[in-house]
Amino acid sequence: MNDKTKLDRRFFMKTAGAAALFGSALGTVPAMAKGMGQSISMSTTINFDEGYNRVGTNSIKFDLIKMFNPGKTLDVGMGIADMDFKTLPQVTDALKKRLEIENWGYEIPPLDYPGNIVDWNKRRYGADVPKGNILNCVGVLDGVLSILNAFGEAGDNVLLTTPNYSSFFTTIHHANMHEAMSEMKMVNGKYEVDWDDFEAQAAGGIKQYILCNPQNPTGNCWTADELRKMGDICNKNDVLVIADEIHCDFVMEGQTYVPYASIGEEYAQNSITLKSTSKSFNLAAHRTGYMFSHNRAYIDKVLKGGHQRLLLNIMGMIASNEALKHGDAYIDEQNAYLTENARYVEKYCADNIPLIKYKVHQGTYLAWLDVSALSEKLDAKNKAIELTAYNVENNVTATDFFGVTSIKKYGTGDYLKEWFMDNARIDINPGENYGKGGMGYMRMNLATNRKTLTHALGNIEKAINAL
Sheet of 271-275: strands edge to edge?
134-137, 289-292, 271-275, 240-244, 208-212, 157-162, 178-183
How many Å apart are CA 93 and CA 73, to the nearest integer? 35
Tens-binned pLDDT, residue by residue, of the chain (467 aa): 443 333 333 332 333 333 333 233 233 333 333 333 333 334 446 888 887 788 788 777 777 777 778 788 889 999 989 999 999 999 999 999 999 999 999 999 999 999 999 999 999 999 999 999 999 999 999 999 999 999 999 999 999 999 999 999 999 999 999 999 999 999 988 999 999 999 999 999 999 999 999 999 999 999 999 999 999 999 999 999 999 999 999 999 999 999 999 999 999 999 999 999 999 999 999 999 999 999 999 999 999 999 988 889 999 999 999 999 999 999 999 999 999 999 999 999 999 999 999 999 999 999 999 999 999 999 999 999 999 999 999 999 888 777 889 998 999 999 999 999 999 999 999 999 999 999 999 999 999 999 999 999 999 999 999 99
pLDDT at position 38 = 36
- Is there a contact between 196 and 245 (Cβ–Cβ < 8 Å)? no
Q: 424: Cβ–Cβ under 8 A, 6 or more apart, which residues?
A: 456, 459, 460, 462, 463
Cα 290 from Cα 309, distance rounded (Å)? 10
Task: Specify burial of residue 356 (Cβ count, 10 A radius: 0-12, 13-18, 19+).
Answer: buried
User: Distance between the two ends of the chain, CA-based, in angstroms?
Assistant: 55
Range(s) for CATH 3.90.1150.10 in the chain?
9-87+328-465
Q: Amino acid letter at 419? A: W
Of the candidates 286, 265, 268, 262, the residue with the CA atom closest to the CA atom of residue 276? 286
- According to the model, what pLDDT value does residue 307 have? 94
Separation CA 276–CA 121 (nearest Å): 11
- 211 within 8 A of 244, measured Cβ to Cβ: yes
Confidence at residue 244, expressed as pLDDT on a 0 to 100 scale? 98
d(CA 422, CA 430): 15
Contact 383, 417 (CB under 8 A): no
pLDDT value, residue 33: 37
Helices (runs of H) and strands (runs of E) counted in the chain: 17, 16
Cis peptide bond upstream of 109, omega within 30? no
CA distance 457 to 200: 42
In tens, the pLDDT along 81-90 reads 999 999 999 9
CA distance 194 to 163: 12
When the candidates are 3.40.190.10, 3.40.47.10, 3.50.50.60, 3.40.640.10, the CATH number that belongs to 113-326 is 3.40.640.10
Q: Give the separation between CA 154 and CA 173, rounded to whole angstroms.
A: 9
CATH topology for 9-87+328-465 is: Aspartate Aminotransferase, domain 1 (3.90.1150)
Burial class (CB in 10 A: 0-12, 13-18, 19+), 197: middle
Q: What is the per-residue pLDDT for 171?
A: 97
How many other CB atoms are there within 10 angstroms of residue 34's CB atom? 15
Per-residue pLDDT at 79: 93
Beta bridge partners of 317: none
pLDDT attached to residue 3 = 38
- What residues are paired with 426 via a beta bridge? 76
For 414-447, b/e burial (b = at least 16 CB within 10 A) is bbbbbbbbebbbbbbbbbbbbbbbbbbbbbbbbb
pLDDT for the residue numbered 461:
98
Q: Which residues pair with 271 in a beta bridge?
A: 241
CA atoms of 107 and 99, how far apart (whole Å): 13
State whether the Cα torsion 290-294-299-301 is positive or negative.
Answer: negative
